[in-house]
């Protein structure tokens, strides 16, 4: 069957198409020079229109394309359209049965995921979305027609929900799944720790994303969440004990985690490792060697003696290098250097020893050659850094020689070797789930070890628990952005915030939270307290009032209530504490640096040294070009890490905090705290 334009219509229309022929499942529209084949599976609509004299057929195709046939006799046009449309609709309804089956199969796959009662990860959701898209691409007609057919309409709308707002569908699925898990396993969450987990903690534990950052503010129960996570994986059968890797940063923290796991999970099959013990294990298994860690790693004085000996030899043998050192110490560090053979000066050597130890440590952590270190340095300081690195070369050489003589490795070397073994496939990771404590302290080298482990198994999950508000170890190589930009480094996933602190009252929380969040680079999160605190819970007090304060505390502090006295440096320990045992015998007093207090808690906290100057708090920047080139770039906010350090100090307290300041030269933090409505008391 065909339809042709009349001779007059053809002449007047001046259109490329003047004939349409009906095919088995489509039409062919043609003219003297053009031909267009339109299968039914490409048709969206057929319109029949009447002009002033002639008829017109309009074939609507995807992407807004329209093919028209003009100049046909009207009655013939109507007849052809009626016949063609009936055939096309009959074909369409037959195809709709197939389309409905395809859509129902897709929905069945989605339903099976629901029935499996598993968390739906972003990766799985993307795969599901791709599967739906592939199914739709295989439909016998364009998806824009699916709404026309009653047998397809509902299924299509459900599929569109997954295709359109994929996050909404995923979140709805995971919310329903999480709610069901919290009800079904209520006994687990009630009994896994000495106190039941709160909803935020429980939701973090069951979150099934491949990369999960759990932001655990001070006192919010991060250890409970780590232990519960391990217990959850075992209870639900998601992992066997030997498939769970628990990592801590220090040996003491790992031991405490082991004790907690044995106590709560009643198993010794899961043990926490440090990054160094993990690296040692990988090397032992992957190279059949048992590396020995240098004794120097645990003997700071021996390291300093080694470096000072090499430094003295360098200066005495090479005048140009001695001149370079004098210039470095005087011009960059601002030190007073004796005339003549300054390298023989004992006081100067003692002062420099810790610096040399630190700089060699940073160079070892970098792991690259001198040329690579220089190439990676910021351009603005590259020339100066190059000169400094060359002056440091004898110390680095002395270190490597000492390791060779011991036939040992250092900590940085351990991790570097472990990464190489993993990358070469000499050790295959058995761990499906990696749990990391204090994640804010992670360095690029340790992050590279995690990445190498996960590269062997794309489905290995990373459960990272930390708090960017408590990131205070940049000086030892910790990179804050590995936490604040977690998903950039470790892949798509979720973030869970532990929103309740069990340590301090609401007033301490309000001041500490507002103070640290003035830095826009910190991640915003809620942290609510269970108890109220009065306005005096955080108080500024002149530093000469320490003894009257301790006198007053001795009158009401109970014998079992701990009082922490914190300072920025060890040498700022007040002389008054030397007589504490006899003057305030009932007080449980402990002194430590703020860095050492991380992880500690007390009923009352006294923070010393809020003053300006070289021993002040915030501490003035003391970085040399070595730190500037080899440490992670800090965020561009004044005293950012020092601000976090004060946050750590304040949040050690349960009940009250006194911040002792120098009235003549107060710290810049004093005015900031006043602006946050912290009261200034003249006496305790």
The DSSP annotation for 20-63 comes to: EEEETTEEEEE-SS-EEEEEGGG--EEEEEE-SSSEEEEEEETT
Give me 125's structure tokens: 């959701």
In this predicted structure, the answer to whether residue 117 has a pLDDT above a threshold of 80 is no
H helices, E strands: number in the chain = 26, 20
In the β-sheet with 538-542, what is the strand arrangement from edge to edge?
538-542, 653-661, 602-610, 562-567, 588-593
Split at pLDDT 50, 70, 90, the class of 510 is: very high
Average pLDDT estimate for 491-518 = 96
Say how far apart CA 613 and CA 591 lie, in whole Å.
22
Radius of gyration of the chain (CA): 36
Supply φ then ψ for residue 63, to 5 degrees.
55, 35
Split at pLDDT 50, 70, 90, the class of 116 is: low
Of the given ranges (5-9, 258-262, 333-337, 433-437), which has the lowest mean pLDDT? Answer: 5-9
In this predicted structure, the answer to whether residue 535 has a pLDDT above a threshold of 80 is yes
Say how far apart CA 580 and CA 226 lie, in whole Å.
38
pLDDT at 498: 96
DSSP character at residue 96: H
- Dump pLDDT digits (tens) for 164-185: 777 888 898 899 999 999 999 9
Burial pattern 331-363, b for ≥16 Cβ within 10 A else e, equals eeeeeeeeeeebbeeeebbeebbebbbbbbbbb
pLDDT at 169: 80
Residues 6+ apart with CB under 8 A from 111: none
**More confident: 38 or 7:** 38
In this structure, are residues 353 and 345 in contact, taking their beta carbons and an 8 Å threshold?
no
Half-sphere exposure of 90 (CA within 13 A, CB side): 9
- Dump pLDDT digits (tens) for 50-87: 877 788 999 999 988 999 988 899 999 999 999 999 99
Of the given ranges (158-162, 327-331, 386-390, 545-549), which has the lowest mean pLDDT? Answer: 158-162
Treating both helix axes as pointing N-terminal to C-terminal, what angle do 74-116 and 122-137 enclose, rounded to 10 degrees?
150
Average pLDDT estimate for 5-11 = 79
Give me 518's structure tokens: 């003035």
* Mean pLDDT of the chain, nearest integer: 93
Say how far apart CA 195 and CA 191 lie, in whole Å.
7
Split at pLDDT 50, 70, 90, the class of 114 is: low
- Dump pLDDT digits (tens) for 276-290: 999 999 999 998 788
With a pLDDT cut of 70, the percent of the chain lying above it is 99
Give the angle subtended at the CA of 224 by the CAs of 222 and 230, to the nearest 5°: 105
Split at pLDDT 50, 70, 90, the class of 163 is: confident
Say how far apart CA 616 and CA 294 lie, in whole Å.
36
Collapsing DSSP states into helix, strand and coil, what is residue 137? helix
In this predicted structure, the answer to whether residue 12 has a pLDDT above a threshold of 80 is no
Treating both helix axes as pointing N-terminal to C-terminal, what angle do 668-675 and 506-516 enclose, rounded to 10 degrees?
120
- Dump pLDDT digits (tens) for 268-277: 899 899 999 9
In the chain the domains, ranked by start, together with CATH numbers, are 1-184 (2.30.29.30), 190-293+426-501 (3.40.50.300), 296-408 (no CATH), 530-675 (3.40.50.300)
Average pLDDT estimate for 485-502 = 95
- Dump pLDDT digits (tens) for 451-468: 999 998 888 999 999 999
Say how far apart CA 152 and CA 567 lie, in whole Å.
71
Supply φ then ψ for residue 259, to 5 degrees.
-60, -40
Average pLDDT estimate for 297-313 = 95
Give me 372's structure tokens: 């690579």
Split at pLDDT 50, 70, 90, the class of 15 is: confident
Say how far apart CA 138 and CA 577 lie, in whole Å.
80
In the β-sheet with 19-23, what is the strand arrangement from edge to edge?
2-4, 19-23, 26-30, 35-39
pLDDT at 369: 85
In this structure, are residues 410 and 276 in contact, taking their beta carbons and an 8 Å threshold?
no
Closest residue by Cα to residue 223 from 183, 263, 188, 187: 263
Give me 380's structure tokens: 């603005």
Say how far apart CA 303 and CA 287 lie, in whole Å.
28
Query: Which residue bears the tokens 């040992």?
Result: 408
Our CA dihedral for 496, 502, 504, 507, rounded to 10 degrees, sits at 60
Query: CB 515: neighbour CB atoms within 10 A?
Result: 22
In this predicted structure, the answer to whether residue 386 has a pLDDT above a threshold of 90 is yes
Of the given ranges (237-241, 284-288, 308-312, 543-547), which has the lowest mean pLDDT? Answer: 284-288
pLDDT at 153: 94
Supply the pTM of this predicted model: 0.86
In this predicted structure, the answer to whether residue 113 has a pLDDT above a threshold of 80 is no
Closest residue by Cα to residue 360 from 406, 386, 397: 397
Say how far apart CA 377 and CA 370 lie, in whole Å.
11
């Amino acid at each position: 069957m065909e339809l042709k334009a009349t001779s007059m219509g053809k002449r007047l229309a001046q259109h490329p198409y003047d004939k349409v022929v009906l095919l088995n499942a489509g039409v062919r529209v043609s003219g003297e020079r053009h031909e267009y084949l339109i299968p039914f599976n490409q048709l969206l609509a057929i319109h029949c229109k009447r002009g002033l004299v002639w008829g017109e057929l309009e074939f609507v195709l995807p992407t807004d394309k329209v093919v028209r046939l003009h100049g046909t006799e009207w009655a013939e046009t109507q007849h052809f359209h009626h016949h063609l449309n009936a055939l096309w609709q009959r074909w369409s309804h037959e195809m709709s049965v197939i389309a409905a089956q395809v859509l129902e199969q897709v929905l069945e796959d989605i339903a099976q995921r629901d029935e499996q009662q598993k968390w739906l990860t972003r990766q799985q959701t993307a795969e599901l979305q791709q599967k739906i898209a592939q199914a739709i691409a295989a439909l016998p007609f364009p998806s824009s027609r699916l709404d026309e057919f009653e047998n397809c309409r509902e299924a299509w709308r459900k599929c569109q929900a997954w295709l359109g707002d994929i996050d909404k569908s995923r979140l709805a699925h995971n919310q329903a799944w999480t709610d069901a898990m919290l009800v079904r396993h209520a006994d687990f969450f009630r009994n896994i720790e000495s106190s039941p987990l709160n909803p935020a903690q429980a939701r973090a534990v069951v979150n099934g994303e491949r990369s999960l950052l759990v932001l655990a503010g001070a006192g919010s129960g991060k250890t409970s969440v780590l232990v519960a996570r391990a217990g959850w994986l075992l209870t639900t059968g998601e992992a066997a004990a030997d498939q769970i890797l628990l990592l801590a940063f220090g040996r003491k923290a790992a031991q405490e985690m082991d004790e907690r796991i044995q106590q709560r999970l009643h198993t010794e099959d899961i043990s926490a490792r440090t990054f160094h013990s993990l690296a040692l294990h990988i090397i032992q298994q992957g190279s059949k060697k048992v590396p020995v860690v240098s004794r120097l790693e645990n003997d700071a004085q021996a390291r300093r003696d080694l470096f000072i000996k090499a430094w003295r030899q360098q200066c005495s043998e090479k005048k140009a290098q001695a001149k370079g050192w004098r210039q470095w110490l005087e011009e960059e560090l601002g030190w007073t250097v004796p005339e003549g053979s300054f390298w023989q000066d004992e006081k100067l050597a003692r002062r420099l020893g810790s610096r040399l130890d630190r700089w060699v440590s940073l160079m070892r952590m970098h792991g690259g050659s001198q040329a690579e270190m220089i190439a990676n340095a910021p351009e603005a300081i590259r020339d100066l850094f190059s000169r400094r690195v060359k002056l440091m070369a004898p110390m680095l050489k002395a270190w490597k020689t000492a390791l060779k003589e011991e036939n040992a490795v250092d900590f940085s070397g351990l991790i570097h070797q472990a990464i190489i073994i993993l990358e070469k496939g000499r050790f295959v990771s058995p761990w499906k789930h990696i749990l990391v404590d204090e994640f804010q302290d992670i360095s690029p080298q340790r992050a590279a070890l995690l990445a190498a482990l996960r590269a062997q198994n794309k489905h290995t999950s990373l459960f990272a628990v930390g708090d960017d508000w408590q990131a205070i170890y940049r000086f030892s190589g910790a990179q804050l952005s590995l936490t604040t930009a977690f998903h950039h480094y470790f892949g798509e996933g979720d973030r869970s915030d532990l929103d309740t602190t069990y340590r301090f009252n609401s007033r301490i929380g309000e001041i500490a939270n507002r103070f640290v969040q003035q830095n826009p680079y910190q991640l915003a999160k809620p942290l609510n307290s269970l108890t109220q605190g009065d306005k005096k819970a955080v108080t500024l007090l002149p530093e000469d009032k320490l003894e009257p304060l301790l006198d007053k505390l001795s009158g009401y502090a109970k014998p079992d209530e701990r009082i922490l006295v914190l300072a920025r440096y060890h040498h700022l320990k007040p002389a008054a504490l030397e007589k504490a045992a006899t003057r305030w015998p009932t007080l449980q007093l402990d002194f430590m640096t703020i860095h050492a207090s991380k992880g500690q808690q007390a009923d009352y906290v006294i923070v010393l040294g809020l003053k300006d100057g070289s021993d002040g708090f915030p501490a003035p920047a003391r970085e040399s070009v070595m730190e500037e080139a080899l440490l992670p770039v800090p965020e561009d906010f004044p005293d950012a890490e020092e601000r976090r350090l004060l946050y750590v100090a304040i949040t050690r307290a349960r009940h009250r905090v006194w911040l002792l300041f120098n009235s003549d030269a107060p710290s810049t933090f004093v005015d900031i705290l006043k602006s946050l409505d912290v009261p200034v008391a003249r006496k305790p």
